[in-house]
Amino acid sequence: MIDEDETYVYEIMQDDKHPLDECAKLLAESFTKFNPIEAYLKTTYDQFFSYASTLINDALNDETLSIVVRHKGTHQIQGVLLARDLYLQQHHSSTTDAHFNPIIDLLGELEDHFVKEYERVHGTKLTEKSVVSLSLEATHSDCFGRGIATKLPKLLITHARQMGFKNLIVETTHPATKHIYINKLNGRELTSINPAKWLWKRGGNDKYPFGNYMTQPNEVSLIVIDL
């Protein structure tokens, strides 16, 4: 346990302690219902559940960074935050072939931009335990407005700082999430991509998968937080 209050307990995710399928279900329900880009792509619950399950397994294989929120009375999962060491994420990932969803490649371009800027500023290659990548976060709809969505990344920031990480990055597709990371967690926007103008080059078949994406604000932002 890394924190608790009267209602919830916050714990580092462990495969022998937490129902990982329940975590994947919460992520799939949240992103297919509320994430504007997944809604535009018509990503199905089953597709996102499979993707989230893979991310969870990858996260558990390298660092103890992901966090689970449980209700003290019911023990049900009420919130999930998945995070990985960015170096390990880029070199040891099982999601590179998740071709059903071009957003994965779009986010990859944002991360590549960050890595180039990081290596330019620091004059050295990215290494392990340098940068945390916050991959996914979801809160059960019954818990909206109770501060979990803000508290989870705050706990990750403290935990990652104690582990020796220097920066945290997160990509945002929702204005409310961007507001949290910039205005409440002192993040800064490093770069962004307008999905409607983004050219997807996978497989040599250039196309604009988000060409009709009109949601405002219509950009995906990469936020950097210094730890």
The structural domain count of the chain equals: 1
Q: State how far the Cα of 75 lies from the Cα of 57, in Å rounded to an integer.
A: 22
Q: How confident is the model at residue 203 (pLDDT cuts 50, 70, 90)?
A: low
Per-residue pLDDT, 204: 64
42-57 residue pLDDT tens: 999 999 999 999 999 9
- On the 0-12 / 13-18 / 19+ scale of CB atoms within 10 A, 17 is exposed
pLDDT by residue (tens digit) across 139-192? 998 888 888 989 999 999 999 999 999 999 999 988 888 999 999 999 999 999
Domain that holds residue 53: 3-226
Q: Picking from 35-39, 72-76, 90-94, 215-219, which range would have the lowest pLDDT averaged per residue?
A: 90-94
Sign of the CA dihedral running 178, 53, 38, 80? negative
- Global model pTM greater than 0.75: yes
State the CATH number of the domain containing residue 148.
3.40.630.30
